[in-house]
Amino acid sequence: MNPSVLAIDVGTTSVKAAIISLEGAQVAAATAGYATRRPRPGRVEHSPEEWWTAACNATQELFATPGVDASRIVAVGLSGMAASHVLLGEDGSVLAPAMIWQDTRATTEAAALADELGDETLVAALGRDIGLSASMQAARMRWLRDRAPKLLAQTRTILGSKDYLLYRLTGELATDRTSTAGFCHIGTGELHPAMAAATGVGEDLLPVRREPTAVGGEVHAVASAATGIPVGVPVAVGMIDSWCNILGAAVSEPGDAWDTAGTAEVVGVAAAAESELARTTGMRFLTGVALSYGVTQCGTDAFTWYAETFPEADRRGAELSGSALFRRLDEVAARAPAGSAGMLFLPYLEGERSPFADARARGGFHGVQRAHARRHFVRSVLEGVAFSVRHVLEHHERRGEVRAERVVVTSGGAKSRLWNQIKADVVGRPFVSLNVTDAGSVGAAILGAVAVDRYTLPEAIERMVRVAALIEPDAANRAIYDELYELYLELTPALRPIHHRLADLQSKGETDA
């Protein structure tokens, strides 16, 4: 085995561990899952201890793979879901379940905090004009201050998801500016005094902020015994999963666009560093370009929801699961025509974040008739997510005053050739897939390689990112989807009052504990 980097990502459903060679080949990969708990509407939680257990299981599986040599690991690169927060006590123990990015319990607090700070102060504090949503750390700190003050009083450190792994691997407490971006300034990592005062959380509760390519620590003996990673291997601080995916998609020039087709879709485009976008958002990427992107609330998770809600069986009647289930549903969707015979799916199963923020948005199938069959429903889910991708991309192209000529698609959804084709047809641009669909692992590996001086950042991108296929849009399908997309844009605001009333009925009578 050639010298390689171990990439570890804390995701919504599992920890993914992958060994990526310095030439960009995936040597081996493993995943280990954990439960997502929804104790009441709006609350979505994970156990950080289960993240660690999953990381140990995944890495041990990797090192048991024939041909894998742990001694050839030169660094560890970390990635993790954004807007997921761990509260540690004085002794380093976890005080409560982690609130992950889908958690919207702080919706009221987000609105109150935004009103109290005002637009000017909020932009100064965050370094960008994006408003304040329930998933952002600032809103959650306000929620803790107002609704769980005893828990906040016991808290000594607040970590992001990948920061917790850094702590368990090395014993060091550190983070980066992407992980504190919903609380601190995205460009500097600094905490604004007004934000600290309005949330009750000061600098003393935040770990030191370092560059993603900095070495955060070295694997200690206890972690080595649990994971199989040799003692002393350097661990890069890393960054949030969306930025690791952007890095692994080689976003480095104005007009580069990407679609990270994960549990949520992260869709955006790069603009020039000297653009108005760069001056107003502060979203300067590691490669020097300015970023404009949005994160939806439900991407491949819509497909997962459908698979879980409407089980599929093989010819013998045995229920399918895992990759076999998704391959079957792909085959089913391929038998339906473009446009799903006039059916339209809104993918707002967990509310929505981008290109509009509405925690009370609701999903649904529209235009359903007796003639519609299973294949139409499955394809409609794929198309609904594709419409949301186009919605987000066009919004950010306007914002960045730039047009993307092609879109690099990565992550789990990129494994579906049909879905990539649907997205290309809906968006009307070629979609590019990579030889390693999990670009987040490649991005984390790039950070690890740079941290130990194997490459400069441009060298690592050039050597470690490889294109696999180019999917051109189908002109006939594009015409159908253009018309359906217009209806998609009309339907969302038209149904908003009804969605809000339904959300109010769901929460009626509930109280916070």
Mean pLDDT of the chain: 93
| Best CA proximity match to 255, nearest among 285, 291, 223 | 291
Q: What's the token pair of residue 310?
A: 């409407």
Rg (C-alpha) for the chain, rounded Å, is 22
Distance (Å, rounded) from C-alpha 50 to C-alpha 33?
A: 8
pLDDT at 394 over 70: yes
Query: How many C-beta atoms surround the C-beta of residue 504 within 10 A?
Result: 10
pLDDT at 510 over 60: no
How far, in whole angstroms, is CA 81 from its chain's centroid? 5
User: 42-51, 145-154, 279-288, 455-464 — which is least confidently predicted?
Assistant: 279-288
- Count Cβ atoms within 10 A of the Cβ of residue 153 and give its class: 0-12 exposed, 13-18 middle, 19 or more buried: exposed
Residue spans of alpha helices (H) in 157-210:
161-170, 193-199
Distance (Å, rounded) from C-alpha 25 to C-alpha 218?
A: 24
How much of the chain exceeds pLDDT 90, in percent? 83
Q: How confident is the model at residue 295 (pLDDT cuts 50, 70, 90)?
A: confident
Identify the pLDDT of residue 511.
44
Identify the pLDDT of residue 513.
40
pLDDT at 512 over 50: no
pLDDT at 373 over 90: yes
Q: What is the pLDDT of residues 311-367, one digit of tens each?
A: 876 566 566 666 777 888 899 999 999 999 999 999 999 999 899 989 899 999 999
Identify the helix (H) or strand (E) that includes residue 73.
strand 73-80
Q: What's the token pair of residue 1?
A: 């085995």
How much of the chain exceeds pLDDT 70, in percent? 96
Query: How many C-beta atoms surround the C-beta of residue 17 within 10 A?
Result: 28
Q: What is the pLDDT of residues 184-216, one digit of tens each?
A: 998 889 999 999 999 999 999 999 999 999 999
Helices 374-400 and 300-309: crossing angle in degrees, nearest 10, is 160
Better-scored residue on pLDDT, 186 or 30: 30
Residue type, 185: H
How far, in whole angstroms, is CA 149 from its chain's centroid? 29
Average pLDDT, integer, range 420-449: 96
List CB contacts of 322: < 8 A, sequence separation 6 or more. none
Residue spans of alpha helices (H) in 452-474:
457-464
Identify the pLDDT of residue 441.
96
Q: How confident is the model at residue 473 (pLDDT cuts 50, 70, 90)?
A: very high
- Rounded to two decimals, what is the model's pTM? 0.86
List CB contacts of 470: < 8 A, sequence separation 6 or more. 406, 430, 431, 432
| Best CA proximity match to 128, nearest among 400, 439, 502, 346 | 400
Distance (Å, rounded) from C-alpha 371 to C-alpha 365?
A: 14
Identify the helix (H) or strand (E) that includes residue 497.
helix 475-507
Q: Is 333 helix (H, G, I), strand (E, B) or coil?
A: helix
Identify the pLDDT of residue 74.
98
Q: Bridge-partner residues for 295, per DSSP?
A: 266
Query: How many C-beta atoms surround the C-beta of residue 408 within 10 A?
Result: 25
